[in-house]
Amino acid sequence: MITLDILRTRFSALEVDDLQRWIGEGYVRPERAADDLLFEEIDVERVRLILELRDVMQVNEEALPVVLSLLDQLYELRRRLLRLGIEPNAAS
Partner 1 sequence: MADDPYKTLGVARGASADAIKKAYRKLARQHHPDLNPGKPEAEAKFKAVSTAHDLLSDPERRARFDRGEIDADGQEQAPAGGYRRQAEEAQGARYGQAGNSGAFEDMFADIFESRRRADSAPRRGQDESYRLNVPFLDAVQGDTKQLTLPDGRVLSVKIPPGVVIGQVLRLRGQGGAGRNGAPAGDALIELDVADHKLFQRDGNDLRMELPVTLKEAVLGGPVVVPTPTGPLRVTLPAASDSGRTIRLRGKGVAAHGTRVAGDLFLTLRVVIGKPDAALEAFLRDWAPEDPEDPRAGMEASE
User: Which residues contact partner 1 by CB under 8 A?
Assistant: 4-5, 16, 19-20, 23-27, 29-30, 32, 35-37, 40-46, 48-49, 52, 56-58, 65, 68-69, 71-72, 74-76, 78-79, 82, 88-89
In this complex, which beta carbon is closest to partner 1, that of residue 58 or of residue 92?
58
Beta bridge partners of 33: 36
Closest contact distance (angstroms) between CB of 80 and partner 1 is 10
Closest contact distance (angstroms) between CB of 10 and partner 1 is 9
Q: What is the DSSP annotation of 53-78?
A: HHHTS---TTTHHHHHHHHHHHHHHH
Report the distance separating Cα 45 and Cα 70, nearest Å: 17
Beta bridge partners of 38: 3, 31
Closest contact distance (angstroms) between CB of 30 and partner 1 is 8
Residue pair 50/11 in contact (Cβ under 8 Å)? The answer is no
In this complex, which beta carbon is closest to partner 1, that of residue 29 or of residue 61?
29
